[in-house]
Structure 1
Amino acid sequence: MMSRTLPLSNKRIAHYFEQGTGEPLVLIHGVGMQALAWYPQIDDLSAEFRVISVDMPGHGESTALDTDAGLPQFVDWAIEFIETLDAGPVNLAGHSMGSLIAAGVAVTRPDLVKRVAVLNGVYRRTAEARHAVLQRAAELRSGTIDVETPLKRWFNADEAQRLAAQKVESWLKSVDLAGYATAYTAFASGDEVFADGWHTIACPALVLTGSDDPNSTPKMAKQMAGAARDGRAVVISDERHMVNLTAPEEVNRALRAWLHTEPQTETLKSEV
């Protein structure tokens, strides 16, 4: 796995890991994580694809955005990253906050996206759920970081999940607090920013979550997939928010099927 940096505008850099050759697959992680949070997908899918897993701004080794950056600014960053890579159109997959970014790119710059995958994404939260994430965002901005609560929400006590939970704990404890707070605030207020654009997404769209994820619910996944022109919802039983780490075989199987889905041509769409 090669560690690389890409110069962006305003003297910023994007850090990413790259492995494999073939069609490019760009992976964007969730808030508080880093590029290595996709390690089961990097290891497996790089046998067939050029896997590029990038640190979100303010995470890992990527330069942070301004502290008042919202979801549109994170989407603009992803667009610049893909354009600067000069590898488009790419297959673009995001997890949690990364899925909001991926969907935003697919809505605003469809020319850069061959296929889009949304893992454990949020879509039109309830008022109660929105209040909870906005409250957590405020706590982070005040300098308070709670690692134990998300770990209990994301993982169960099974021995099989312990290794993944330990990795996630180490990433949360090492994240830059200011970068984390900026991204989490954008995440907390970003579930409706591009929601109305889902019906314009024409490329193959995979929307995947765990049946037991209370925040990125199966209902949300089905709504997103149903809104897209070529969407497919996958719900993995007995899994929670970090499904790409706790059920890697099922997730990789779904991703591979998505990656082998042929995008519809304009002619075919007009004939349907």
Structure 2
Amino acid sequence: MTAADAPPVVLVHGTRFSAGQWSPQLAALQKDFRVAAVDLPGHGARSAEPWSLDAASEIIAAAVDSLDRGPALVVGHSLGGYASLEFARRFPERLRGLVLAGASASTRGPWATPYRWVTGLVPRVPADRLARWNDRLLRRLYPPEVVEATIRSGYAFHTLPAAWGEVLGRFDAGAMRHVTAPVLILNGEKDPVFRSGESDFARAHPHARVELIPRAGHLANFDDPAAFTDAVRRFARELPASCG
């Protein structure tokens, strides 16, 4: 693949985080691709904006357009993965490939019950206390170069009930029928909840495959940044040339 053929890459963060989640991947991927990381509504620099999947899709579409290289490879983690599925449905012409990371579980049925409970519980805990817990957890588990950008950007706990309230009950493997581009389902090996439907998601798409990052959990891009980045890079290089 030549530099002219390389797809632009848009990175979409997960629950409560922001574009800062992708600092390890941004630094590595910028050597080979034009890359942008977005803040979803209610997160990061968009903290004051109300959440909606429609608005999230439009933010992703605007990021694709800003890179000015045609359809993009969109990489979505967790909440960002489901937002990316909605983007794929609404803007198929802007999608060259999709990486679903920690977002291949059905959000319908019994699986959703504990998450509905969490979305009800979070508003009852003061945001500053939740932030301190998250800061301590991230700093205990990961080196500063991996998580400090995330910590500096703060957390969107206030948006969590609205975001998951819209996602829960909405997505299952059937959402893959709206994705016209190739798909990489990229999960941490030790993320049993969010990879629980990976086989169903893969079977629902003619050009999807599953790849696991060994010993990684739900935050696979933090657990093994190099392996996560390498998987995205390899998938990007395999994508067919854009016709746009």
- TM-score w.r.t. the length of structure 2 is 0.80
Alignment-derived partner of residue 214 in structure 1: 192
Report if aligned partners of 2:102, 2:218 keep a CA contact under 8 Å in 1. yes
Alignment-derived partner of residue 15 in structure 2: 31
**SS state of the match for residue 44, structure 2?**
coil
User: How do residues 216-235 of structure 1 correspond to structure 2 at under 5 angstroms?
Assistant: 216-217=194-195, 219-235=196-212
User: How do residues 42-121 of structure 1 correspond to structure 2 at under 5 angstroms?
Assistant: 42-62=26-46, 64-66=48-50, 69-83=51-65, 87-121=69-103
CA distance in 2, matches of 1:259, 1:53: 16
Say yes or no: does 1:262 pair with 2:239: yes
Cα 1:125–1:190, aligned 2, differ >3 Å: closer, same or farther? closer
CA distance in 1, matches of 2:182, 2:47: 31
Report if aligned partners of 1:164, 1:246 keep a CA contact under 8 Å in 2. no
* Partner amino acid, structure 1, of 2:92: P
Say yes or no: does 1:174 pair with 2:154: yes
**SS state of the match for residue 52, structure 1?**
strand
Residue number among 188, 209, 222 corresponding to 1:245 in the alignment: 222
Cα 1:168–1:96, aligned 2, differ >3 Å: closer, same or farther? farther
Report if aligned partners of 1:212, 1:239 keep a CA contact under 8 Å in 2. yes
Report if aligned partners of 2:102, 2:187 keep a CA contact under 8 Å in 1. yes
Q: Percent identity among equivalent residues?
A: 21
Structure 1, residues 155-201: CA drift from partner, whole Å, max 9, x if none? 8x9x8x43269937963993244234433433444434xx4231242
Structure 1, residues 17-76: CA drift from partner, whole Å, max 9, x if none? xxxxx632110100111111111211111100011011111111125443xx44344334
CA distance in 1, matches of 2:220, 2:159: 24
- Structure with the bigger RCO (C-alpha within 8 Å, sep 6+) is 2
Q: Which has the higher strand share?
A: 1
Task: Give ranges in structure 1 of 5+ residues lacking alignment.
Answer: 1-21, 267-272
Residue number among 115, 124, 142 corresponding to 1:133 in the alignment: 115
Cα 1:169–1:150, aligned 2, differ >3 Å: closer, same or farther? farther
CA distance in 1, matches of 2:164, 2:240: 33
Report if aligned partners of 1:24, 1:87 keep a CA contact under 8 Å in 2. yes
Matched residue count: 236
Cα 1:171–1:129, aligned 2, differ >3 Å: closer, same or farther? farther
CA distance in 2, matches of 1:189, 1:149: 29
Cα 1:190–1:163, aligned 2, differ >3 Å: closer, same or farther? farther
CA distance in 2, matches of 1:165, 1:126: 36
**SS state of the match for residue 208, structure 1?**
strand
CA distance in 2, matches of 1:86, 1:80: 10
CA distance in 1, matches of 2:165, 2:148: 20
Q: RMSD of the TM alignment (CA)?
A: 3.4
CA distance in 2, matches of 1:222, 1:187: 20
Report if aligned partners of 2:34, 2:67 keep a CA contact under 8 Å in 1. no
CA distance in 2, matches of 1:129, 1:150: 24
Cα 1:64–1:205, aligned 2, differ >3 Å: closer, same or farther? farther
Report if aligned partners of 1:151, 1:165 keep a CA contact under 8 Å in 2. no
